[in-house]
Structure 1
Amino acid sequence: MQRPLAGLTRKNFGRELLAGVTLIAIAIPLNIGYAQIAGLPPTAGLYALVVPTIIWALVVSSRQLVASPDAAAAALVASSIGGLAAAGSADYATMALAQAIICGVMLLLMSVFKLGFLANFLSKPILVGFVGGLALDILISQIAKMLGVKIESGGEFVEKLTGLVTGLPTLNIWSLLISVCAVLILVLGRRIAPVVPWALVVMVVATVVVLLTHADDAGVSVLGEVPAGPPAITWPMLDWSTWAMLIPSALALTMVTAAEGLLVSRSYGEKRGYRTSPNRDLFAFGVANVASGASGSFVMGSSTSRTAAMDQAGARTQLPSIVLAVGTLLLLLFGTALLADIPNPAIGAIVGIAVLPLLGIKEFRQLWKTDRFEFTIGAACFLVTLFVGSIPGILVSFVLALINMAKRAATPAIDVLKVDDQVSRSLLDEAPEGTVTAPGVVVVRMAAPLFFANGSVFTDAVKKAVTSADDAGNGPVKHVVLDMEAVTDIDVTGAEAFESMQSWLEQHEVSLAFSRMRPQTHDRLVKLDLLGDHDSYPTNREAVTALTRN
């Protein structure tokens, strides 16, 4: 088993510490903003950076993946719990804790039963559409914050957009000025010096400006008092019916966390040459989320942007996450007074710039060029998530994933080749030199298992291959050779279609032979009684070669 903080040496210790300081500068302002998106106090975002982060760093197999509440998780929390309790209320906060614990338990079960493959049902187009819809919803809220316009934070997208447009006459000019300056610093600063933690610079400068100019007296909203002290271990006390109501949203959060987290973990492991364990990563997500819910925070997932930032900073271990936890704890103990005068427009600018890449504009453009059907899937997920809700969005995502999978499985690649087209050697298991090709022989190759979704498609292709050769004036087909290399399995419905094809070939006096059949496929055919006296069906190279000479 991999030791904690794998990859840490005396040589890279200093670099890892410095990367941890950079992570503090990135994570603290973002987590404060994400807590606001979720409808929770700033401390909820900070508490996630202490106990859950330490546990994560000591358990996870990935040396670089950064775990934290992110924008998508925050939006999901707000949309799912917003209909059950008022944002900011005690019940709302308690439900957020319970939701994180349920999510953690689900992730632990996925790890124990090795169910990480379920996350693969969320393909890239689905993730792009789903996260993009959440990101646009978040962006509207942050724009309102940047302009000093008050809107209903827990409302639907249309309500937020309407509130933003109708509230423009109440725009606060000082909030707008702070936001414009913050955006310019963030955008231009990253181009000039990408390694500088510009989000922290914006927070510090904006806070100093508010203190010097008393902009809060002119209507600029500030963060307000942040309670000092470390996170306390607690447990959400709710009745069983409320726990049950949180399960659907927790399931959605679980699948998004698993899909995105495992993908990022594997990609960085391959990029930097170390092994990762999907089930161990799921276990780490699970215990981190249970710890998050038990220490006053909300659902944690993987942070792609922070992981990328740590990779660019040269971090190759989980030490930066430990440094982040220690730094956040010190802030909670001794520095919360510094947070009270941070202007909310600056936080809105920081979060708004951070979520812009999540809109998926580049990814949607690429999907449009490469695969229109997958683009349609992503766009459908985007629109449902945006206009109907996050939970319907994830449900539609799963349905579209199944439709996409069924569509591809039901229309497998089926090659029909005539042996007299000089292709016998590659198809017939590399028949010996000097094999003479002959008319009247057709080779059919299907690149998929034979099952209920494609059984009729396969048999129709075989029948068409036999009849079309005769209709084209090439003479009747006497022999059909099935290239079985890619047929790895056959189910009962596929077997019935196969049997029907055999009967049809017998009626038309066409013999049947097999090439390159896998042993397990042969055994499956025997078990399904599709070979009968299976010695009568040639399956080896010599039998097929002899057949082509007839």
Structure 2
Amino acid sequence: MQKPLVGLSRKNFLRESMAGVTLLAIAVPLNIGYAQIAGLPPTAGLYALILPSIIYVLTVSSRQLVASPDAAAAALVASSVGGLAMAGSADYVTLALAQAILSGLMFLLLAVFKLGFLANFLSKPILVGFVGGLALDILVSQVAKMLGVKIDSGGEFVDKVVGLVTGLGTINGWSMLISAASIAVLLLGRRFARAVPWALVVLILATVLVAVADLDGAGVAVLGPVEAGPPALTWPAIDWMMWLALIPSAMALTMVTTAEGLLISRAYGDKRGYATSPNRDLFALGLGNIASGATGGFAVGSSTSRTAAMDQAGSRTQLPSLIMAAGTLLLLVFGTALLEDIPSPAIGAIVAIAIIPLLGIRDLVRLWRTDRFEFLIGLACFLVTLFIGSIPGILVAFVLALINLAKRAASPAIDVLAGTGEPGESLLDEAPRGSVTAPGVVVVRLAAPLFFANGSVFSDAVKRAVLAAPEGSVRHVVVDMEAVTDVDVTGAESFEALASWLTARGIALGFSRVRVDARSRLEQLGLLGESPVFDTNRAAIAALADRTN
């Protein structure tokens, strides 16, 4: 097993330590904002940075991945737990902790049974649409916060929009000014000095302004008292029916986090030249989420933005995450009074800037230009997530993933090969001319496994190839098996029906280039029978042409 803090040395200790201070400055304001999005107290976001981060660092394979709650997780918590309890209530907090624990257990199951591949069903268009819908829902709440307009943050998207529009007459001028100044500082700072933790700068300046000018008395909402002290071990006391009710949302959290986390882990491992272990990363996320739920935090995942920030800061170890955990603990023990006057408009501006890239507008435009069907998949996930909810959104995502998979699997490349072995014309749309590759011989190649989705398609393609030749001229059909890695029972039945159809017309069936790993499967299903098997297409054509003559 890889040792914790691998890659750390005296030479890079200072750089890694400074990166840790930067990570602390980024994480604290964002996690306070994410906790508010989730309908939880600020401490829920801060507790999630302490023990979960330490456990994650000690168990993860990635040297750079940062574990933390993010905007998508916060929105999922709000939309799912909000339907089971009143936001801000003790029951609501308890359910959020239980949800994190359930998600952690699911991560562990994925790791133990090596099921991380299931997250591959969440393709890029699905993730773009799903996360984009969550992000727009969050953005409406943050805009209201920035304008000083009170809306029901736990309501449906349409209700939020209606509340925002009807409440425009109650805009607070100071809130709007703080928000505008915060956005300007964040955008200009990102452009001209990316290394500076501008989110922290904005919070400090805005908090000083509110405290000095007594703006909370002028209607500017502030964070208010924050519970002091370190996180304490706890366990959510809820009945088993509520545990069951949380399973769908915990599954959604797990699958989205798995898809994003494994992709990021592999990407940075490849970029920086070190090996990663997907199942170990899932195991680390599992322990981290259980630790979060057991210490008052909520669901954690792999933070794309913070991992990118650490990479840009030159960090190549997990030391920054440990410094972040230690700094957050010190803040909770000694410095919670510093958080009370943080203005909500500034938090809203920080979160809004952080989630705008998650809207996926550029990705959707790119999909529109390159693949309209995948664009429609992304758009459908976006709309369902936005207007119906996150759980229906993830269910629709999986259904659309299966439809997309079936659509592609049902249209494999099927070619007629010439005697030289070069691919000829496609047989999918219409039977090609010249489909006889040698006198009396037709060679057909299926560039996919033969299974239930494409068995009949392949059978129909072979029949069209035979019928396209002059009547009675075809005596042999050879199936090139080079790209056929597997055959299922339904595919085998379709193939048997094809063989009977060929036999009825006096046409013999043969095989060429059968893969070693597929041959036993073909024999098990009884597909080879007495049919000849050739090493190459050229050998098949030559032998069968001689036999025909």
Is the TM value for this pair above 0.5? yes
Q: Which amino acid aligns with 2:523?
A: V
Is residue 2:496 matched to residue 1:515?
no
Contact 1:441–1:477 at 8 Å: present in 2 too?
A: yes
Write the mapping of 1:38-77 to structure 2, written as runs, cut at 5 A: 38-77=38-77
For 1:30 and 1:14, the matched residues in 2 are separated by 25
Is residue 2:315 matched to residue 1:315?
yes
Q: Which amino acid aligns with 2:18?
A: L
Contact 2:416–2:444 at 8 Å: present in 1 too?
A: yes
Contact 1:515–1:544 at 8 Å: present in 2 too?
A: no
Write the mapping of 1:102-113 to structure 2, written as runs, cut at 5 A: 102-113=102-113
Q: Shift in Å at residue 375 of structure 1?
A: 0.8
Is residue 2:339 matched to residue 1:356?
no
Q: Provide the alpha-carbon RMSD of the alignment.
A: 1.4
Change (3 A) 1:409 1:426: closer
Match of 1:402 in 2: 402
Is residue 2:493 matched to residue 1:496?
yes
Q: Give the unaligned 5+ runs of structure 2.
A: 425-436
Contact 1:20–1:321 at 8 Å: present in 2 too?
A: yes
Q: Which moved more, 1:305-314 or 1:242-251?
A: 242-251
Match of 1:78 in 2: 78
For 1:333 and 1:401, the matched residues in 2 are separated by 47
Q: Which amino acid aligns with 1:509?
A: G
Write the mapping of 1:453-492 to structure 2, written as runs, cut at 5 A: 453-470=453-470, 476-492=473-489
Contact 1:78–1:154 at 8 Å: present in 2 too?
A: yes
Q: Which amino acid aligns with 1:451?
A: F
Q: Which amino acid aligns with 1:36?
A: Q
For 1:23 and 1:448, the matched residues in 2 are separated by 47
Is residue 2:535 matched to residue 1:540?
yes
For 1:66 and 1:173, the matched residues in 2 are separated by 37
Match of 1:295 in 2: 295
Normalization by structure 1: what TM-score?
0.95
Q: CA offsets, 1:483-510, max 9 Å, x none?
A: 1011111111111111111122122222
For 2:343 and 2:523, the matched residues in 1 are separated by 74
Match of 1:264 in 2: 264
For 1:244 and 1:538, the matched residues in 2 are separated by 54
For 1:213 and 1:503, the matched residues in 2 are separated by 89
Q: Which amino acid aligns with 2:298?
A: F
Q: Secondary structure at the match of 1:424?
A: coil
For 1:159 and 1:438, the matched residues in 2 are separated by 70
For 1:328 and 1:466, the matched residues in 2 are separated by 73
Q: Which amino acid aligns with 2:533?
A: P
Contact 2:50–2:326 at 8 Å: present in 1 too?
A: yes
Q: Secondary structure at the match of 2:377?
A: helix
Contact 1:411–1:454 at 8 Å: present in 2 too?
A: yes
Contact 1:66–1:302 at 8 Å: present in 2 too?
A: yes
Contact 2:417–2:423 at 8 Å: present in 1 too?
A: no
Q: CA offsets, 1:275-310, max 9 Å, x none?
A: 000111001000000000010010001110000000
Q: CA offsets, 1:225-282, max 9 Å, x none?
A: 1111111111111111111111111111111111111111111101111000011100
Q: Shift in Å at residue 416 of structure 1?
A: 1.9
Q: Shift in Å at residue 479 of structure 1?
A: 2.6
Q: Secondary structure at the match of 2:460?
A: helix
Q: Shift in Å at residue 147 of structure 1?
A: 0.2
Q: Secondary structure at the match of 1:445?
A: strand
Contact 2:512–2:540 at 8 Å: present in 1 too?
A: no
Q: CA offsets, 1:405-424, max 9 Å, x none?
A: 111111111112343xxx33
Match of 2:528 in 1: 531
Q: Secondary structure at the match of 2:396?
A: helix
For 1:481 and 1:183, the matched residues in 2 are separated by 67
Q: CA offsets, 1:495-542, max 9 Å, x none?
A: 111111112212222232211111232222222222223xx4232344
Match of 1:7 in 2: 7
Match of 1:28 in 2: 28
What stretches of structure 1 move > 4 A for 4+ residues in a row? none
For 1:148 and 1:121, the matched residues in 2 are separated by 41
Is residue 2:502 matched to residue 1:505?
yes
- Between the aligned residues of both structures, percent identity stands at 72
Q: Shift in Å at residue 543 of structure 1?
A: 4.6
Contact 1:5–1:317 at 8 Å: present in 2 too?
A: yes
Write the mapping of 1:336-347 to structure 2, written as runs, cut at 5 A: 336-347=336-347
Q: Which moved more, 1:346-355 or 1:191-200?
A: 191-200
Q: Secondary structure at the match of 1:6?
A: coil
Count of matched residue pairs:
533
Write the mapping of 1:215-294 to structure 2, written as runs, cut at 5 A: 215-294=215-294
Q: Which moved more, 1:126-135 or 1:536-545?
A: 536-545
Q: Which amino acid aligns with 1:122?
A: L
For 2:68 and 2:221, the matched residues in 1 are separated by 26
Q: CA offsets, 1:130-154, max 9 Å, x none?
A: 0000000000000000000000011
Is residue 2:382 matched to residue 1:382?
yes
For 1:156 and 1:424, the matched residues in 2 are separated by 60
Contact 2:54–2:325 at 8 Å: present in 1 too?
A: yes
Q: Secondary structure at the match of 2:487?
A: coil
For 2:83 and 2:181, the matched residues in 1 are separated by 36
Q: Secondary structure at the match of 1:415?
A: strand
Normalization by structure 2: what TM-score?
0.95
Q: CA offsets, 1:311-337, max 9 Å, x none?
A: 000111100000000111111111111
Q: Secondary structure at the match of 2:417?
A: strand
For 1:409 and 1:400, the matched residues in 2 are separated by 14
Q: Which amino acid aligns with 1:478?
A: R
For 1:438 and 1:242, the matched residues in 2 are separated by 69
Contact 2:54–2:322 at 8 Å: present in 1 too?
A: yes
Contact 1:80–1:390 at 8 Å: present in 2 too?
A: yes
